[in-house]
Structure 1
Amino acid sequence: MKKLAILFFGFALILSSCQEDKGYYLSGTIDGFEDGKKVYISERDESTRSLKTIDTAVVKDGKFEIDLEEQELPTLSFLGFEGLNGNVVFISENQKINFDINKDSLRNFLVTGGKENKALNEYLSHLKELNRKMVGMQTDMRNAASARDTAQLNSLRNTQQELRDNDKNFKEELFSRNKDSYVSVMLLTDMLNMRSHTSAEVREMYGEISERLKKTPLAKSLKETLDNSLAAEIGSKAPSFTAPTPDGEQLSLEDNLGKVTVVDFWAAWCKPCRIENPNLVKTYNKYKDQGLNIISVSLDRPGQKDRWVKAIEDDNLEQWSHVSNLKFWDEPVARKYRVRSIPATFILDEDGVIVAKNLRGEELTNKIGELLK
């Protein structure tokens, strides 16, 4: 299992924030940090997904403080330190927040003040403990597998599932207490990304957060993701797209619908995709005269068009249409369909409505045969 390495943005942990009457105020102590060193206050630039520095404080006598402008909305922010790797994450809010930081261990922090950061601290503490248990369990599971101790392995798997269930319950309970806190949006984003909750469940919970929070960039991004996931669900009209073919021409979904259309996401570098391709060829040859069409969307990397074209030839896929922007996981068509792993297939009826998805082998063949009867 992926390391539940705490916090969906992947930056090191630690919080803070504060305010005066008109603005928020940060202050703190940092053990072992030389006078004159800078403390950088940064925010995440949603357009570039990188950090941008908004202000700077200077350490004096092992302390720092800075008075910042009033925040209209809470924002996930970071403290960076001159000459040190890593960041301390916090939520900017119009409160007076104090940090207690150790130069040699940014993860071991203390933050006081502010309801936003109190909720964040509770969430991060839970995730750190969960991560500790999961990492230890992975070691035990490897040892049990090596020893071929089936009973111990099954017991550990049950315990692992209990931890996942407890994590899900914790997130739901923390969300219920913080529907007007920025942490609620972070929780929903993590629920969706970690797939502990379905998009339908997250969509329902999203409707419960305050209108104030829905104005934040993170909430808007989450809403866009939820809207896209709804568009790619069974029973929904398949998201429209136009993308370049290997010849450089533009191909649209609407102009290439058959009685049944398979939108197949794959890549030359994807071994499971290449293993599945012979079955796709077999299915196409069986049903192409009855109205089956296939559009393959490649997630190949930038600058690797030759590998994409060669894979099409090697796997005998030239019989149907192919498109790709060669942007790897940033492929626009894949993002519209919320594809996070490949191979992935979407089966459309003649009106372009998604009737099934992610079928392979005989299941895919049988479903297409059923639809074409």
Structure 2
Amino acid sequence: MLIFAIKYKNIMRKIVVMLAVVTAFMSCQEDKGYFISGNAPGLDNGKKVYVSEIDDSSNRPVIIDSTTIKDESFELDLKNVEDPNLSFLEFEGAQGNVIFISENENIKFKIHKDSLRSSKVTGGKENRLLAKYLDHLEGINTKVMKGRGEMRAAQQSKDSAKFTTLKETEKEILDNDKVFKKKIVEENPGSFVSVMIISDMLRMKSYPIKDIKEMFDNLSKDIRNTGLGQQIGQALEERGKVAVGSKAPEFTAPTPEGEELALKDVMGKVTVIDFWAAWCKPCRVENPNLVKTYNKYKDDGLSIIGVSLDRPGQKDKWLQAIEDDGLPWHQVSNLEFWQDPVAQLYGIKAIPAAFILNEEGTIVARDLRGDALDNKIGELLNNK
């Protein structure tokens, strides 16, 4: 009995030790934490390292923590994050920053002091995917810039055949870029990088809104609910209202005479809503083309309404520009600059901007200029 009791006690002791080891191992596996560390050759002891992340309310980087360089290295244990976010490392005495994504992983940095953009980041799946995406963007940019330099040379030497070939090559590069981005989004619906890519698509207007919205809707709920995800959701909703195929939002605004004029009152077989301003040089350059198109098609049913984003108190400049450029169509303006309610209704962030409507008031095209606008209007009127 004594021998049995001793053996039993030894067995139990081994079990307890094994359970403690397993528990400790599982704890380490479950709580990796948000920890950053890195090597920074050339940065002096005591130099500050700042960690920033995008603030959802201001959409600007905000410093959340800092540490100091010691023996050309640094480390910082940060509070675990609930959601990933676009983040940055900045170094006292160095220009620029290092982009990374906050995630509950051990994130390591290899810093290049004289070229922070060349720094390397390794960590969890978010930062691995971000590195892949950034490498792709750098490659695309290098190819496009090289090609455009060669195009300029071809233009100068009047080598039209080479210029055409280079232009086709650039289109192929940009088409491949679009395929690459779409593939990443589709294969990584739960990644913050995917919502970053969709944000880039929106900003560059490289995809139809309906396609971007479909990609966004297929992301995981958690990613759509991040700060950036919510911003994109709101932007997609707003742009969807003025996307090609949507009914143009109705509006009313003051004319130069101070009377209220509604969009519905000026509709033609084809209607152009032209956002411009007296202070906008590209708008003024485009105005003669628009006058030419208007005179060409006005008797066939073309109507234009200009919406000016001129500044408060500068009605005289608006009126002078109408006279100087010989604009014979309807004009309205609230003289509220970028805060103009019509401009905000249509999501205008840059001018000139144009919306082409058919007879039913549906947006059939947008942001066309010169010959492209003229050809589209001719196409629409000839189909009547």
TM-score scaled to structure 2, two decimals? 0.77
Q: 1:166 aligns with which of 176, 182, 206?
A: 176
Q: 1:144 to 1:30 in 2, by over 3 A?
A: same
Q: Look up the match of 1:229.
A: 239
Describe the SS at the equivalent of 2:117: strand
**Which structure has more RCO (C-alpha within 8 Å, separation ≥ 6)?**
1
Q: 1:112 to 1:258 in 2, by over 3 A?
A: closer
Root-mean-square deviation (CA, aligned residues, Å) is 3.3
- For 1:83 and 1:244, the matched residues in 2 are separated by 53
Q: 1:117 to 1:303 in 2, by over 3 A?
A: farther
Q: 2:55 aligns with which of 45, 53, 65?
A: 45
Q: Deviations over 1:164-207 (max 9, x none)?
A: 12212211222232111011111122223333322121111112
Structure 2 residue 127 is matched with structure 1 residue 134: no
Describe the SS at the equivalent of 1:179: coil
Structure 2 residue 127 is matched with structure 1 residue 114: no
Q: 1:54 aligns with which of 39, 58, 64?
A: 64
Q: Deviations over 1:49-103 (max 9, x none)?
A: 4322122222222222222222111111111222322111111111111111021
Structure 2 residue 343 is matched with structure 1 residue 334: yes
Q: 1:84 to 1:219 in 2, by over 3 A?
A: same
Q: Look up the match of 1:267.
A: 277
Provide structure 2 residue ranges, at least 5 long, that are not aligned to the other structure.
1-28
- For 1:319 and 1:144, the matched residues in 2 are separated by 41
Q: How far apart are residue 369 of structure 1 and its match? A: 9.5
Q: How far apart are residue 110 of structure 1 and its match? A: 1.6
- For 2:207 and 2:362, the matched residues in 1 are separated by 24
Q: Deviations over 1:200-259 (max 9, x none)?
A: 211111121100001112222222222223211344232345656667x69574685656
- For 1:210 and 1:331, the matched residues in 2 are separated by 36
- For 2:162 and 2:296, the matched residues in 1 are separated by 43
Describe the SS at the equivalent of 1:53: strand
- For 2:329 and 2:193, the matched residues in 1 are separated by 50
**Contact 2:39–2:110 at 8 Å: present in 1 too?**
yes
Q: 1:36 to 1:174 in 2, by over 3 A?
A: same
Alignment of 1:144-293 (within 5 A): 144-241=154-251, 251=260, 253=262, 256=265, 258=267, 262-268=272-278, 269=281, 270-279=283-292, 282=295, 286=299
- For 1:215 and 1:27, the matched residues in 2 are separated by 29
**Contact 2:306–2:329 at 8 Å: present in 1 too?**
no
Q: 1:188 to 1:363 in 2, by over 3 A?
A: closer
- For 1:285 and 1:159, the matched residues in 2 are separated by 40
**Contact 1:230–1:236 at 8 Å: present in 2 too?**
yes
TM-score scaled to structure 1, two decimals? 0.79
**Contact 2:38–2:108 at 8 Å: present in 1 too?**
yes
Describe the SS at the equivalent of 2:321: helix
Provide structure 1 residue ranges, at least 5 long, that are not aligned to the other structure.
1-18
Relative to total residues, which structure has the larger strand share, 1 or 2?
Answer: 1
- For 2:255 and 2:37, the matched residues in 1 are separated by 56
**Contact 2:89–2:98 at 8 Å: present in 1 too?**
yes
Structure exhibiting the larger radius of gyration computed from Cα positions: 2
**Contact 2:250–2:264 at 8 Å: present in 1 too?**
no
Describe the SS at the equivalent of 1:212: helix
